[in-house]
Chains A and B, each alone.
Chain A
Amino acid sequence: GQQVMQIPQYQHVQEGEDFTTYCNSSTTLSNIQWYKQRPGGHPVFLIQLVKSGEVKKQKRLTFQFGEAKKNSSLHITATQTTDVGTYFCAGRISSGSARQLTFGSGTQLTVLP
């Protein structure tokens, strides 16, 4: 079945440093979504990428979708303590009528003040 791998599993950064998490799929994706889950909370939708090579920015966050639509990344510039949480990618496969999202295992970000 479809697998979505995400690295690293954990990342500790000093406040002000940059952070990147990477997502790789075993199959071509029709789109990929990114979510943030604060400790004790539920996943909150951040963004969706659909087009090959797409790049989207949200303030300090930059999201990329690979040319082959099998990988993606989230980059945070100059992290702040409010960025703490677990970041998940979730991919939707290209073929058939599948509507399910397959989540990666997440990257847990800790920002040290």
Chain B
Amino acid sequence: DAGVTQSPTHLIKTRGQQVTLRCSPKSGHDTVSWYQQALGQGPQFIFQYYEEEERQRGNFPDRFSGHQFPNYSSELNVNALLLGDSALYLCASSNLGGGPYEQYFGPGTRLTVT
């Protein structure tokens, strides 16, 4: 049973560029949430996707957008990258219909913006 997978594991981009990060949820999960974790901080909620729609959004600008595909996998897009976007981006999957919303995190994508 594959857990949550994310790609790529590391990424280096330049200010102003755009980036796409990918996530495949754990088998049987239908909901994907994205988090940004700066060094030494807790994960900050970006948004959550369920049934291919954004269901909840945290306090992040419109430069952050996402998508969920029919197979439940998801993408996170960040436009016009800033130095402050450097962080570990975590994807977490859960089963919205399953009650407790226990989340399983992927290994993350380490994004460095120079």
Which residues of A line the B interface, CB within 8 A? 1, 6, 31, 33, 35, 41-45, 48, 50, 88, 90, 92, 98-106
Given A48-B102, A50-B100, A100-B56, A42 and B108 contact (CB-CB distance below 8 Å): yes
Nearest CB on B from A50, distance (A): 7
Q: List 17 A-B contacts (CB under 8 A).
A: A1-B59, A33-B103, A42-B90, A42-B106, A42-B108, A45-B102, A48-B102, A90-B42, A99-B55, A100-B45, A100-B58, A101-B33, A101-B45, A101-B101, A102-B45, A103-B35, A104-B42
B107 and A42 contacting across the interface, CB-CB below 8 Å? yes
Given A42-B90, A43-B105, A100-B33, A105 and B42 contact (CB-CB distance below 8 Å): yes
Complex CA distance for A41 and B41, rounded to whole angstroms: 13
Q: From B42, B48, B107, give the contact of A100 (CB < 8 A).
A: B48
Nearest to B107 among chain A residues (CB) is A42
Complex CA distance for A101 and B92, rounded to whole angstroms: 11
Q: From A41, A43, A48, give the contact of B43 (CB < 8 A).
A: A43
Complex CA distance for A50 and B107, rounded to whole angstroms: 27
B43 and A45 contacting across the interface, CB-CB below 8 Å? no
Complex CA distance for A103 and B38, rounded to whole angstroms: 13
Q: From A43, A90, A102, give the contact of B90 (CB < 8 A).
A: A43
Listed residue (A31, A42, A100, A105) with the most chain B CB atoms within 10 angstroms of its CB: A42
Given A100-B56, A100-B58, A105 and B102 contact (CB-CB distance below 8 Å): no
A88 and B43 contacting across the interface, CB-CB below 8 Å? yes
B100 and A31 contacting across the interface, CB-CB below 8 Å? yes
Q: Decide yes or no whether B44 CB sits under 8 A from chain A.
A: yes
Residues on the B chain within 8 Å of A100, using CB: 33, 45, 48, 56, 58
Residues on the A chain within 8 Å of B45, using CB: 100-103
Residues on the B chain within 8 Å of A101, using CB: 33, 45, 101, 103
Nearest to A92 among chain B residues (CB) is B101
Complex CA distance for A90 and B41, rounded to whole angstroms: 13
Residues on the A chain within 8 Å of B105, using CB: 35, 42-45
Query: B58-99 vs A: 1/0 string, CB under 8 Å?
Result: 110000000000000000000000000000001010001000
